[in-house]
Chains A and B, each alone.
Chain A
Amino acid sequence: MTVCGDCAFFMVEPADPMYGVCSVEAKEVKGEEAASGQDLFTIKGSRVGRRDDTCDKFKSKKELSREERLRRSY
């Protein structure tokens, strides 16, 4: 059975590895919408438990090559 911690959007939280930051709401924001007036990538995070049940946004993690890691958005 998969849990939230298995999801590609799950980023381990800085201090307690039993928790994570859900990054499903990461997106590009156009300059006119951003406080800076410039195109920006944003991540609206929310706290989730590593062993929480998965939600309908669940996406499986996969092992990334170096090239794929360099192209990650976050």
Chain B
Amino acid sequence: MEKIVQLSSTNLDQLEQREPSTERMKRLKDRCRWKSIMGGEYIDPDTKAGMERMQILTKAYKENEGQPEVIKRAKFLELSGREHTCIIQDEEILVGYHAENPDWVCLYPEMGYNATIDMIESDLMDEEYKDEAREIAEWWKPRNLQGKCEPYFKKEELEVGYTYTTMEPFPFALVYMSMNVPYKTLFEDGLENRIQICQEKIDNAFAEHLHTDVNRPYDGVKVGEQLHKIDNWRAFIIAAKGIIIWSRRYARLARIIADHFDVPDWRREELKKMADVCENCMAKPARGFWDAMQAKYFAWMLGHSYERYASGYAHLEDNILWPYYNKSVYYKDPEQPLTKEQCLELLEEERLKVSERGIAKGRTYRQAMPGANDLHIITIGGVDEEDRDMCNELTDLILEATLNMCTPEPSFGFRWHPNCNLKTKRLVFECIRRGFGFPAIFNHNIKKWQLEYYFNVPREEAARWALQLCMSPGRSGRYGTQKTRTQGGGHHYVTTKCLEIALSDGFDHSYTRKQIGPKTGDPAKFKSIEEIWDAYVTQCRYACRLHTRARDITRYMEARYLQSPFVSILDDACVEKGLDGMEDMDYPNPWCNIMHNSDIPDSFAAMEKLIFEEKKYSMEDLVKALRANWSGYEEMRRDFLAAPKWGNDDEYVDKWMRRFFETNYQLTHEELTFIDGGKPLPLPQTVSLYASMAPFIGALPYGRRHGEVLGDGGISPYVGMDKKGPTAVLKSVSKVDHRKTKGVQLNQRLSHQIMRSEKGFQMWLSYMEAWWNLNIDHVQFNVFNVEDLKAAQKEPEKYEDLIVRIAGYSARFISLPKIAQDAVIARTEQELGA
């Protein structure tokens, strides 16, 4: 241990000045086409909305009218494989893009009308395309998820569901999904083998059930069961063949450039190798690390950005790639030999390819992720089912690539366990110390236990959990992975808005000026804190249930109209059962996000103390003060601000956080059963909605005014209100039962000076030991110098590489709107060892 720490310490300066490992990677980083978003809009004016996906999709559907829906989806992919533009940019080694121009994004008219027309009518789409785009959007209007789901809601329910107040907007209009591609199957089998398995399934179905053998009985029930399966298997085959064609068109393009373009000899040779990789990587099992990396990139691009839109980059990267890294670097006669340095370059380029991914998701989540273009979170580290360290040389190389490239995406979740080796932990620390904000640290044991206990995941698989998005674990192997957000995370309810309207009988005075929740009584007449609590819980329950219905109806329609035959063919369970991933209901892994959490205990503690214990103010006073946005009630506001606040190891307020968590568990896990039978767990986290929802939430009882930032995510204290040091924060946080959640986000800002000192690593390790011993689920760190951030606000162009942690993701600081920048700066800096 000493030796490793000593070695790393002597190289601190070197780590500080890291840069891309090759000149080529430096050039590619300089050319990177960042697709960051600020305030819901793309920062780079060159980012535009493309037409090609919409055109191919619509053409495929019109040409195949009358075919089963799943076949139409597959035909769309087949046509895309033949017709979609292939792009190889100068010098890149990993290839592929999902729009016709690497600066552009593609649209998803089959997913939601509102989000599509929003894009079309914005500056994002050039005037010359708008008429055709509008025509396509209107054609899809009755055929898309939104058109299919809306008839199951009353007008007033839709009004609430399309207003971002007490709940996330309904998923069928939102265009925000997430999933987890079973990459392992692709590496191990290749699509040709998967096609063969599906064909055998079809042949068996005919031989066993759809036969005319007069010597065997006829069973119509079995025949009926087989028809839908045959459609699915056929769709899987059509889609997979189309994807192989697409990949091989990339191979052809690489050969054309090599043979006919004026490129240096080294690049010509490289292009020929790239052609060989593209020829093989989707069709056949991976021969080595390059095949696996290219296959992974293609599959991610297709699954997340093209077949349909889905956020995330869920996989246990160091685990699933290790066999191929090992083959390429260490086997005696490898089929695809590579040096460690070449593998590093591929990992570095992956970071740029992810940063270049542009996504036309709905505005809710464009606003929710300022500074990023989507959530791209990879999982690494941890231990296996026998608690043996799973960190390997590739884990370290992934972290080295991260340090070299200094890009905010993709982010990492590190599966922390005492048995993980110290060298890897040192690299994790270096990334944090540099200010990346990642890896975020997750308690491996809690995550593993949760999957086994709540979701019946076998122990060996549970030990290989990967983050689905920011915080939640899920399967990551060959089957049963999450295929859509309505199988996993599905929605959130906004506790702060629920409290705000509980204090106004369900009426929203501050934003919409409408009744948006049930009538829960005149708050001025509430006689006890329990009456307020009951009104608040009723508002939460209404929001939670209305959105859950929207979520389940969305899933029902996804299974019928928005199948994913490409991703499904990679799932062993889907192929075995002849079911599309959207309709396979056997692997629920659900959660509900809970927003702006410290606001609730802080509010209740202040009301309990000042109104019901000290009786300094009445409920009538409070209602008037909140309606006035505290204006004219300055002294009263100071009293409410001075009441006990979460994060200071103060039982007066901590008991309210415990109650808040228990109630969330009751409202979700105990009271809800989703369409797939899943019982969701609460997941308190806020993405960056503590800033972007600020305009929608009125004044709150702990002293916040309308428009100020909200509670800083998960279980984190409100910015600036944790005043008693990091141990007090951890003690408060440990009072909540983390096993009753899917994850609990904890943001901490650590002292810039200490983290960068010689003793920083040891002090951080001590902090992590305390964190682990308190059974806390998660923690992530900001380490920055306030002066740097303030300077970056004045001269953003000089601080392109300055990265900060926002929520479950990190972003370049300059890409954040000011409200989010200020909130990051305002986080309390904790002194380690205090």
Contacts and interface: CB of A to CB of B under 8 A. Distances in A.
Interface of A: 11-17, 19, 21, 23, 25-26, 29, 34-47, 63-67, 69-74
Given A12-B40, A14-B362, A45 B695 contact: yes
A42 B694 contact: yes
A39 B797 CA distance: 23
Chain B, interface size category, equals: 35 or more
B169 interface: yes
B784 to A, nearest CB: 14
A36 B164 contact: no
A64 B39 CA distance: 13
Contact of A71 (B362, B796, B826): B796
Given A38-B825, A70-B814, A43 B43 contact: no
A42 B39 contact: no
A29 B173 CA distance: 35
Given A38-B720, A67-B797, A14 B40 contact: yes
Contacts of B362: 14-15
Contact of B719 (A14, A38, A63, A73): A38
Contacts of B720: 36-38
A35 B118 CA distance: 35
Given A15-B173, A42-B707, A43-B695, 18 more contacts: A12-B40, A13-B164, A15-B161, A15-B169, A17-B363, A26-B707, A36-B718, A36-B719, A36-B721, A40-B823, A40-B826, A42-B709, A44-B629, A66-B45, A70-B815, A71-B796, A72-B817, A74-B819
29 contacts: A12-B363, A14-B362, A15-B114, A15-B163, A16-B114, A19-B163, A21-B696, A26-B707, A29-B708, A35-B702, A35-B703, A35-B704, A35-B708, A36-B719, A36-B826, A38-B720, A38-B822, A39-B822, A40-B708, A41-B819, A41-B821, A42-B709, A43-B819, A47-B163, A47-B512, A69-B45, A70-B796, A70-B814, A74-B819
Contacts of A35: 641, 702-705, 708, 718
Contacts of A16: 114, 162-163, 169, 173
B709 A44 contact: no
Given A16-B163, A36-B719, A43-B695, A70 B797 contact: yes
A41 B691 CA distance: 10
B44 interface: yes
B38 interface: yes
Interface of B: 38-41, 43-45, 114, 117-118, 121-123, 161-164, 169-170, 173-174, 362-364, 367, 510-513, 629, 641, 694-696, 702-709, 718-721, 796-797, 814-815, 817-819, 821-823, 825-826
Contacts of B173: 15-16
A13 B706 CA distance: 17
A38 B825 CA distance: 9
Nearest to B721: A36
A42 B83 CA distance: 48
A42 B692 CA distance: 10
A13 to B, nearest CB: 7
